Amino acid sequence: MTAASPALLDLTLPELTEWMVGLGFPKFRAGQVYTWLMKGKRPGEMNNVPLALREALAQNAHVGGVTICETLESPKDGTRKYLYELEDGNILEGVLLRYHHGNTLCVSTQVGCRMGCAFCASTGDGLIRNLTPGEILGQVIAVNADLGGGRSITNLVLMGSGEPLDNYDNTLKFIRLASCGDGLGISQRNISLSTCGLVERIDQLAQEGLHITLCISLHSALDEKRRQIMPIARKWTVAQTVNAARAYAQATGRRVIFEYALTNGINDTCQDADALATALKGLPSHVNVIPLNAADGSTLSASEHVEAFLKMLEDRGVSATRRRTLGEDIEGACGQLRRRRLQERAEKIPE
């Protein structure tokens, strides 16, 4: 740890300890500070540490997380959408999904995204910047605090704005921070990372010794069609993408999840089901089929043939289910809430 004025949430407990010892404080104080940080507390609120330490933290470091600036809750299913503000004023959104097996938080790894998927609201302005590990962790800490201060979040999906593998080092550090017993202690088996298919990074991820679930946004097993909706498909073919998934499954012993947003006239025919079944043959995998929830202004629309497509997959021996959609009544696809907030901000700026 070399930063002169570190973001505290970017640090592991050993890194925080080293930094605080360098400032002249005893080691055991780092454990106290770390416990407060994991509860979303600022230095001024750490009331079992000496005033001198609180002042030193405030003067020599910043927390580096997020602040919740808006919450919307679905009266239908309890899904909550959050708008967060970062220390530099950037805006992010997150979604809390409530399942019978626990609370799942969808976290973002970048502000914006440069991957350019045709249906996605996060990509409109391109990539603004990568999030630091502490800013990703800060989303979990903020929502835990909002839910009453315990460790209410049991599952994480890295499926908010941004391509996690395009912010590789920070994403990996976040996973280690979130799953570490010193901190939030979220089991890696309860963490899913969703990628649009950065093949070289999937290969790298397979060698990290993690136990997380890999989800790949495939959306079509036909190269020509996939290229129409996902620019990444111009770099990596379906075969290369699925081969990387096979290597991941082999290295980790974990099945791979494929996301498939069913889109009218694009990927919902027999030919598409055939291609998917052929591509995934022999691979321990599962397909999540969901009707497309396109961003405002997209020319793409949801297919009405979800059940029929699932039947086609079943007939071809592909493990697939319809993914439950939650929170539809409180703003649709990822990134839409943020776009609305940015528009409101722009409207307030006088010409």
Choice between 193 and 196, CB closer to ligand SF4: 196
* Contact assessment for residue 164 and residue 193, using Cβ atoms and an 8 Å cutoff: yes
C-alpha separations of 41 from 20, 145, 313 in Å:
17, 9, 49
Which residues, listed in sequence order, are joined to residue 110 by a DSSP beta bridge? 130
Residue 93 is among the residues annotated as catalytic for this protein: yes
CA atoms of 115 and 133, how far apart (whole Å):
20
State how far Cα 127 lies from the chain centre. 15
Q: Rounded to the nearest whole angstrom, what is the least distance from the CB of residue 167 to ligand SF4 in the complex?
A: 11
Choice between 104 and 122, CB closer to ligand SF4: 122
Q: Rounded to the nearest whole angstrom, what is the least distance from the CB of residue 232 to ligand SF4 in the complex?
A: 8
Rg (CA), the chain: 21
Q: Rounded to the nearest whole angstrom, what is the least distance from the CB of residue 118 to ligand SF4 in the complex?
A: 9
CA atoms of 144 and 20, how far apart (whole Å):
26
Catalytic member of 85, 215, 334, 347: 334
* Contact assessment for residue 350 and residue 318, using Cβ atoms and an 8 Å cutoff: no
In eight-state DSSP terms, residue 282 is T
Determine which helix (DSSP H) or strand (DSSP E) holds 112, and give its type and residue range.
strand 110-112
Q: Rounded to the nearest whole angstrom, what is the least distance from the CB of residue 194 to ligand SF4 in the complex?
A: 7
Which residues, listed in sequence order, are joined to residue 156 by a DSSP beta bridge? 105, 191
Residue 209 C-beta-side C-alpha neighbours within 13 Å: 1
Among 103, 165, 173, which residue's Cα sits nearest to residue 135?
A: 173
Catalytic member of 69, 70, 93, 347: 93
Choice between 155 and 167, CB closer to ligand SF4: 167
Q: Rounded to the nearest whole angstrom, what is the least distance from the CB of residue 131 to ligand SF4 in the complex?
A: 13
Choice between 6 and 327, CB closer to ligand SF4: 327
Which residues lie near ligand SF4 (CB under 6 A)? 113, 115-117, 120, 122-123, 161-163, 196
Choice between 57 and 127, CB closer to ligand SF4: 127
Q: Which residue has the tokens 């626990």?
A: 102
Positions marked active-site: 93, 334
